[in-house]
Amino acid sequence: MLTRREFAKSTAGVLFVSLGGQAQGTIDQSRLEAWLEIHSDGSIIARTGRGETGTGASAFYAQVVAEELSVRPDAVTLIMGDTDRTPDGGYSAGFLYGAANLRKVAAYAHQKLLELAAEHLQTPSSELSVSDGVVSCAKGKVSYGRLVQGRQLSVTIPLRGVPLRFTPPGKSGVTGLEWDGMEGFTVTGEPRLKPISEYKVVGESYPVPGIPAKVTGETVWACDLALPGMLHARMVRPASLGSTLLAPGSFDKSKFPAAQVVRKANLVAVVSPNEWEAVQAANAVAATTKWSEWSGLPSSDNLTSALRAQEWGAPAASKGSEPEVRLTLAEAARTISASYEQPYIKHAPIGPFVAVADVRPDGTTTVWSQIGHLQASRARIANLLGVPSQKVTVRWLDHAGQFGRKTFGGDGAEADAAILSQITGHPVRVQWSMNEDFAWSAFSPAWFADVKGGLDAAGHLTALHIAFHSPHMLDARPLGAILAGMPSGTVQRGGISDTQWPYDRVKFRLEQAYAMDNLAWASAYGGLRGLIMRTPGQRQLNFVLESLVNEAAAVANADPVQFRLDHTTDPRLIGLTHAVMKTANWEARSSPSKDARRTGSNMAAGRGVSVIVRSNAYWVGLAEISVIPTTGVIRVTKFIVGVECGKIINPRQLDRCIKGGIVMGIGEALKEEVTFDKSKVTSTDWSKYRILTMEETPEITVVAISRDDQGFGTGGEAPNALPPPAIAAALFDATGVYPRRIPMTPDYVKRLLAGEKC
């Protein structure tokens, strides 16, 4: 199978590659060939405007297309992301949505091919069957390749959607990226889709196409691109989060003869044709650049009180009936009140941001990067440079997993590279450093939540009221544009309030306030930019909800699993829970354990459970931990995770994604925390921003249930939301003290168990 790049070189001369677009740099996506090409040799090209996020979507797209067309998945080559060669756009994170489009396109193509075959074989299409790209009937057979030989498959793809665009400047003169177009285009109509029960390819562990090249070193990553005349750039960032430039520094020209300082407003960079020279000269410039003093942060030690001091106002989003919940809580035999919180955390990819931009004097611009929303990035670059978006092409290349920070196509090195390329007249490659990435990329915002629950005399949870507070998490403005004082767009306010409620026997009221601007918003660059991160919004809320359910079960002296089953009628959740508990040999009892203790240097053991329901997928997590009270060190010794997400597309890849998600979630539960003093982020390397290591990774058992009758759910995303509440419950089980904050670091656990206020 060809890699994407080899394919790009080899397409000249094959059938159906002309994608005559309506506008320069845009393909006409109402034509079949914008999505799918079927070649006379039987090979198939599928195109999606979305990129690979590291979850294996590139395999799943091929499987979905192959399934609808009844061909082998290795007959399908995928082109992803590039704005001039792919349709649909939208979020790369939304595989299901992107797959739904390609599934329908493939179904339309399949219909057309069956019509041609019926004519060719003189047989009604209802009597035809297809296997491995060959259409057969009693009279004979014909391959897809033969059917398309010498002709264009003329199929119009019906679409709904609007292209992404910036709003015209308003009174403020600031333009914003319209959120309407963020979803990308939707393929409409109802072509006949193959029933899931007849699937042969979807449901198999088809290998991810890009993996061999990644283990041999052949993959061209975003950091690998080298263009003729390209300059390497290193950025010199402000001394604090709010410092403005007083005087740019300098370097010894005799030591670094090819380097030069480039400056636009507060954007300072050093460029050189030689990367190491750029690094060294940038270090020299950073050491001598004068910035204004600034100290407008509360420091991370005072974070919660700073958040609580905000004027939050009325909730931006709510669910459930407030009067009904208020009344039920008033009638409760017992009530529980609790407040939960989490500091800022980072997406923290292993590879810092990198991008290459080539801005020509006429405004024609090409940008290469790993971007989760290609069309949004294109619109942002066009807005930044003041050129029509038709002049901008954004090309997707592999890079380190970004976990949501690239989803809106803003955060990253693309703007830095485009600005520097425009100024220098050269293609420019901008490589952020790890320290810079930790300090200056966007954050998953801190939050706190106040919860009240009511139980009746029989110990049933009757009502819950959750008030969740977080700064906005949709600030995708590119840093380079902000620092350079160039158009960066407005901040989209709000957060993600998509939360599913698994316990239909409990009345609940959820109030979500995303009413707070970035922390230090009033500073020169808008403070700590908040952005979504894997399982956004619901991950945070689920810690609150599931922790409260675990606390309520303890108050009711009930087994936390049975307590959940008693509060839901959802057969999918009940069925999955039983399957997981069977695997776990779960012994029903209430928490805390009879051996629970909060002192001593011997290990105490505990277990805890959590549930999440998200995007047509059901999840149950079970953590077993040990903790040493005197050191506060928690070890997760075992994690069992169950999923039922409708039809499983690729069992092995799902298993890999789930285990990875659990690893990420354990790290979030135990270790991850952004720290800052009054002027800058201080957790700027891996010794200070700590993620889970291999040694800390427990045995993880996956219980995966595939069903043919529930469509598709999101299989890969949500497992990272399971460990924090399950581990918190396990710590309670082991010690009898309930942690209401993550991360559960040794210091926090020690203080918690010592009865200190924390």
Partner 1 sequence: MANELIVNVNGVAKSITAPQSTPLLYVLRNELKLRGPRLGCGMAQCGACAVLVDGQEVRSCVMPVSAVAGKRVVTIEGLPDLWAEQKGLDHSAKRVLHPVQQAWIDEQVPQCGYCQSGMLIAAVQLLARNPDPSVAEIKDAFTNTPPSPHLCRCGTYLAIIDAVRRAARQMRG
Give residues in contact with partner 1 (CB under 8 A): 53-56, 205, 207-208, 210-212, 214-221, 223-224, 226, 274-276, 348-352, 398-401, 403, 431, 433-434, 652-653, 656-657, 659-664, 685-687, 691-697, 700
User: Residue 231 burial (CB < 10 Å; 0-12/13-18/19+)?
Assistant: buried
What is the Cα–Cα distance from 46 to 87, expressed in whole angstroms?
A: 10
The residue length of the chain stands at: 758
Helices (H), 585-672: 651-670
What is the Cα–Cα distance from 393 to 422, expressed in whole angstroms?
A: 15
Quote the tokens at residue 8.
Answer: 């790009």
Nearer to partner 1 by C-beta: 101 or 433? 433
Nearer to partner 1 by C-beta: 398 or 517? 398
Smallest gap from Cβ 215 to partner 1, in A, equals 5
Smallest gap from Cβ 502 to partner 1, in A, equals 25
List residues bridging with 644 in a β-sheet. 618, 705
What is the Cα–Cα distance from 122 to 124, expressed in whole angstroms?
A: 7
What is the Cα–Cα distance from 48 to 623, expressed in whole angstroms?
A: 38
Nearer to partner 1 by C-beta: 664 or 753? 664
What is the Cα–Cα distance from 295 to 617, expressed in whole angstroms?
A: 45
Closest CA to 378 of 478, 242, 515, 231: 478
Smallest gap from Cβ 632 to partner 1, in A, equals 20
Count of CA atoms in the C-beta half-sphere (13 A) of 457: 1
Smallest gap from Cβ 88 to partner 1, in A, equals 22
DSSP state for residue 352 in the 8-state scheme: P
Radius of gyration in angstroms for the set of CA atoms belonging to the chain, rounded to a whole number: 27
Sheet with 231-236: list strands edge to edge: 260-264, 267-272, 231-236, 428-431, 354-359, 365-369, 392-396
Nearer to partner 1 by C-beta: 31 or 406? 406
Nearer to partner 1 by C-beta: 57 or 307? 57
Can you say how many angstroms the Cα of residue 457 is from the centroid of all Cα atoms in its chain?
Answer: 43
Smallest gap from Cβ 487 to partner 1, in A, equals 30
Nearer to partner 1 by C-beta: 397 or 519? 397
The answer to whether residues 557 and 274 touch, using CB atoms and an 8 Å cutoff, is no
Quote the tokens at residue 751.
Answer: 């203080």
Smallest gap from Cβ 276 to partner 1, in A, equals 5
Smallest gap from Cβ 258 to partner 1, in A, equals 12
Smallest gap from Cβ 94 to partner 1, in A, equals 17
The answer to whether residues 577 and 620 touch, using CB atoms and an 8 Å cutoff, is yes
Nearer to partner 1 by C-beta: 203 or 660? 660
Smallest gap from Cβ 661 to partner 1, in A, equals 7
Smallest gap from Cβ 398 to partner 1, in A, equals 7
Nearer to partner 1 by C-beta: 185 or 353? 353
Phi and psi at 613, nearest 5°, equal -120, 120
Smallest gap from Cβ 171 to partner 1, in A, equals 42
Smallest gap from Cβ 545 to partner 1, in A, equals 24
Nearer to partner 1 by C-beta: 153 or 417? 417
Smallest gap from Cβ 634 to partner 1, in A, equals 17
Phi and psi at 292, nearest 5°, equal -70, 155
Task: List CB contacts of 577: < 8 A, sequence separation 6 or more.
Answer: 561, 564, 565, 611, 620, 642
Smallest gap from Cβ 3 to partner 1, in A, equals 13
Nearer to partner 1 by C-beta: 604 or 691? 691
Nearer to partner 1 by C-beta: 482 or 721? 721
Nearer to partner 1 by C-beta: 162 or 350? 350
Alpha-carbon dihedral sign for residues 190, 195, 199, 205? positive
Smallest gap from Cβ 147 to partner 1, in A, equals 34
DSSP output for 496-536: --------TTSEEEEEEEEEEPPTTTTSTT-SS-BB--SST
Count of CA atoms in the C-beta half-sphere (13 A) of 397: 21
What is the Cα–Cα distance from 370 to 396, expressed in whole angstroms?
A: 5
Nearer to partner 1 by C-beta: 32 or 278? 278
Could you identify the residue written with the tokens 């290609």? 374
- Between helices 374-385 and 414-424, what is the axis angle to 10°? 40
Smallest gap from Cβ 157 to partner 1, in A, equals 31
Nearer to partner 1 by C-beta: 420 or 692? 692
Nearer to partner 1 by C-beta: 123 or 701? 701
Quote the tokens at residue 407.
Answer: 């989803």
Nearer to partner 1 by C-beta: 205 or 310? 205
Q: Distances in Å between the alpha carbon of 572 and those of 152, 461, 711, 720, 721? A: 46, 21, 13, 20, 19
Nearer to partner 1 by C-beta: 494 or 665? 665
Smallest gap from Cβ 432 to partner 1, in A, equals 10
Smallest gap from Cβ 695 to partner 1, in A, equals 4
What is the Cα–Cα distance from 402 to 669, expressed in whole angstroms?
A: 19
User: Residue 565 burial (CB < 10 Å; 0-12/13-18/19+)?
Assistant: middle
Quote the tokens at residue 149.
Answer: 């030989």
Closest CA to 232 of 20, 427, 14, 63: 427
Nearer to partner 1 by C-beta: 55 or 70? 55
List residues bridging with 345 in a β-sheet. 444
Q: What is the largest CA-CA distance in the chain?
A: 84
User: What is the three-class DSSP state of 301?
Assistant: helix
